[in-house]
Amino acid sequence: MFKCIDDKIMAKIIDFLDSKGKKVVLTASPDKKELQKVNSIISYCKSKPINLSGKLSLNQVAYLASKSKLFIGVDTAIMHIAAAVNTSVIAFFGPSGAFNWGPWDNDKKESGYKQKSGIQKMGKHIVIQNNWDCIPCGSDGCNGSKISDCLMKFDADIFKIIEEKL
């Protein structure tokens, strides 16, 4: 959970995509905490995303990713799967370094993630990360909280970045 962005921000992203005529599909494992997180996000949504959380196998999620136009989410295995099947990725990073963990563009031989933090691109993929001195810290939340302050608000205009990617 320390790699998750604020539920209200994610709900605004979902509603923004819906306002642009895009179908939004949410996935998560059947883990109780993940399902609670998704339900919290949905509770803030004005739109009605398709919720497949806890209903798909890993193979089915990979297939869904391969048929998707865009993955928007955080630094997870599913983000890497989306990149591996050539789906464009917009990933929110906090305590992790994109230079080690950013989504890889299959058409590139070298990493495009050269900065310590900030907004970075590698081919069709974009990593959105605040450019704060403490990032990346590698910690599982700030001060033992299991919540990463750097993922609770963003300095960048994330909606402009998403719209340009659409």
58, 76 in Cβ contact below 8 A? no
Q: Which among 73, 77, 122, 112 is positioned nearest to 94, based on CA atoms?
A: 73
149, 2 in Cβ contact below 8 A? no
- 129-152 pLDDT, tens per residue? 999 999 999 999 999 899 999 999
Fold of 7-165: Rossmann fold (3.40.50)
14, 45 in Cβ contact below 8 A? yes
> In the sheet where 88-92 sits, what is the strand order?
70-74, 88-92, 125-128, 120-122
What residue ranges do the domains of the chain occupy? 7-165
Percent of the chain, pLDDT > 70?
100
- 33-62 pLDDT, tens per residue? 999 999 999 999 999 999 999 999 999 999
For the entire predicted model, the pTM comes to 0.95
